Amino acid sequence: MRISLIIVSTLLAGSALAQSASPPVPKPQINVKTDAVLVKGGPSLGDSDRVRWDFYKADSAGGQSDENVGGAYDATFEEKIPPGKYVAVASLGNITRQIPVEIKDGAVAEVTADFNAAQLTVVPKRSADSKEAEPQARVDVKQGATFSDSIYGSKQIFVPAGELALEGRIGPARAEGTVTVKAGETISHDLIIPSGVVYANAVYKEGGKAVETDNIRFETVSTEETLDGTRETLTGTYGVNKLMQMPAGSFIMRARLGKVMVETPFTVTAGQRVNVTVNLNAGVLAINAKDAQRIDILETTKDLQGTQKEVSGRYGTTHQETLHPGNYSVKVTYDDKTKREPKIVTATVTASERTELNITD
């Protein structure tokens, strides 16, 4: 009986050991491994999400179909994909490579993308002596019709080896350049976009009150006129003391408020701020006419036909306008039902002053 107990104990112990020792978990089988390099024979880009791999089934002609069977952000991508013919697409930034590959059972297909690329940092500056990159600058980097990328401020991007065209802009300012890079290198390149910033303000007269309304419109225009007598508008804004980006050079600041339009020349120096103050030489005429249907402001002089040119007008009992100094005719028209004749009075506008006209009878 004792011998039987020993045998049973031994069997139970063996069973417990068998249950506690789990069989090793088999490693997942793979049949495709990828790698990527900047230059042939160069170091691997490694475990990096800078590279994107996608595997598309090949179509009947061996090209890329729309059916994606797998992919990941990783230069060293490993996966098990159903056997067949594929087009592996590797992307590094805006650079892509397409690699035909056939995956078979029992074998591992190794696919390497040679991007033949460099790491380029474009540093856009307003002037050659600027110490900092301009964050408002946009730079387009192109190589023929096969590569294009855009950056704002200073940023490192991957670019194909060879000559690259650079197109920079800060507002209306433009600049072009080229840079040549070799595969595998890391370089920085300055792109000078000669430009500055302009802040526009206005006064009603020299030494007079400053304009504060946001109704004023500022526009920067070229100094040269086209064949039809107009000037190219570069940029514009409503309100005073607003930042405007401008290329370096000579321009005209055009200010409009009410019926007043004044132009003042100014110059922009690369990397500098310019403050431009426009003298409107203007005043404000405010009219209140009881029971009026419409109020019109006219020039006092008449043409050969005896008519007066209309300067400004609106329907209602009140009207306000910004005008150059001088005498004006104010015509008040009443509703036909009142059977009242239009009333015409003269008003004088003085620079940097507000003239209030009350017409009650």
Q: Is residue 13 part of a domain?
A: no
Residues 185 and 215 reside in one and the same domain? no
Residue with tokens 């035909």: 100
User: Is the CB of residue 141 less than 8 Å from the CB of residue 78?
Assistant: no
Residues 106 and 129 reside in one and the same domain? no
CATH number of domain containing 320? 2.60.40.1120
Q: Is residue 248 part of a domain?
A: yes
> Apex CA 121: angle with CA 117 and CA 126, to 5°?
145
User: Is the CB of residue 187 less than 8 Å from the CB of residue 181?
Assistant: yes
> How far is the C-alpha of 79 from the C-alpha of 55, rounded, in Å?
10
Pick the closest to residue 135 from 158, 164, 159, 155 (CA basis). Answer: 155
Q: Is residue 57 part of a domain?
A: yes
Using DSSP's 3-state secondary structure scheme, residue 135 falls into coil
Q: Is residue 140 part of a domain?
A: yes
Q: Which two tokens stand for residue 108?
A: 């591992």
Q: What is residue 228's predicted lDDT score, i.e. its pLDDT? A: 87
**Tens-place pLDDT, residues 116-159:** 999 999 999 999 999 999 999 999 999 999 999 999 999 999 99
Q: What is residue 24's predicted lDDT score, i.e. its pLDDT? A: 56
End of a domain among 166, 192, 218?
A: 192
Beta strands in 1-92 (DSSP E): 32-37, 51-58, 64-73, 78-79, 84-92
Residues 228 and 265 reside in one and the same domain? yes
Residues 89 and 156 reside in one and the same domain? no
Q: What is residue 21's predicted lDDT score, i.e. its pLDDT? A: 52
User: Is the CB of residue 160 less than 8 Å from the CB of residue 116?
Assistant: yes
Q: Is residue 4 part of a domain?
A: no
Phi-psi region of 31 (alpha: psi -120 to 50; beta: other; left: phi over 0): alpha
User: Is the CB of residue 320 less than 8 Å from the CB of residue 286?
Assistant: yes
User: Is the CB of residue 290 less than 8 Å from the CB of residue 360?
Assistant: yes
pLDDT tops 90 at residue 304: no
Q: How many domains does the chain have?
A: 4
For 154, other C-beta atoms within 10 Å of its C-beta total 19
**Tens-place pLDDT, residues 156-167:** 999 999 999 999
User: Is the CB of residue 113 less than 8 Å from the CB of residue 145?
Assistant: no
User: Is the CB of residue 103 less than 8 Å from the CB of residue 51?
Assistant: no
Using DSSP's 3-state secondary structure scheme, residue 7 falls into helix
Burial (CB count within 10 angstroms: exposed 0-12, middle 13-18, buried 19+), residue 340:
middle
Q: Is residue 60 part of a domain?
A: yes
Residues 94 and 132 reside in one and the same domain? no
User: Is the CB of residue 96 less than 8 Å from the CB of residue 158?
Assistant: no
Residues 42 and 106 reside in one and the same domain? yes
| pTM of the full structure | 0.80
Domain that residue 236 falls in: 195-279
Residues 207 and 275 reside in one and the same domain? yes
End-to-end CA distance of the chain: 136
Residues 52 and 65 reside in one and the same domain? yes
Q: Is residue 23 part of a domain?
A: no
For residue 1, name the pLDDT band (cuts at 50, 70, 90). very low
End of a domain among 163, 192, 221?
A: 192
End of a domain among 192, 226, 244?
A: 192
> Apex CA 112: angle with CA 110 and CA 118, to 5°?
165
For residue 9, name the pLDDT band (cuts at 50, 70, 90). very low
Q: Which two tokens stand for residue 79?
A: 């996966």
Distances (CA, A) of 14 to 5, 18, 22, 96: 14, 6, 14, 59
- Looking at the DSSP assignment, which residues form a beta bridge with residue 318? 288
Residues 210 and 257 reside in one and the same domain? yes
Residues 176 and 225 reside in one and the same domain? no
Residues 95 and 143 reside in one and the same domain? no
**Tens-place pLDDT, residues 44-63:** 998 778 999 999 999 999 99
For residue 175, name the pLDDT band (cuts at 50, 70, 90). very high
Residues belonging to the chain: 361
Q: Is residue 78 part of a domain?
A: yes
Residues 107 and 157 reside in one and the same domain? no
CATH number of domain containing 90? 2.60.40
For residue 218, name the pLDDT band (cuts at 50, 70, 90). very high
pLDDT tops 60 at residue 5: no
Q: What is residue 306's predicted lDDT score, i.e. its pLDDT? A: 82
Mean pLDDT rounded to a whole number for the chain: 91
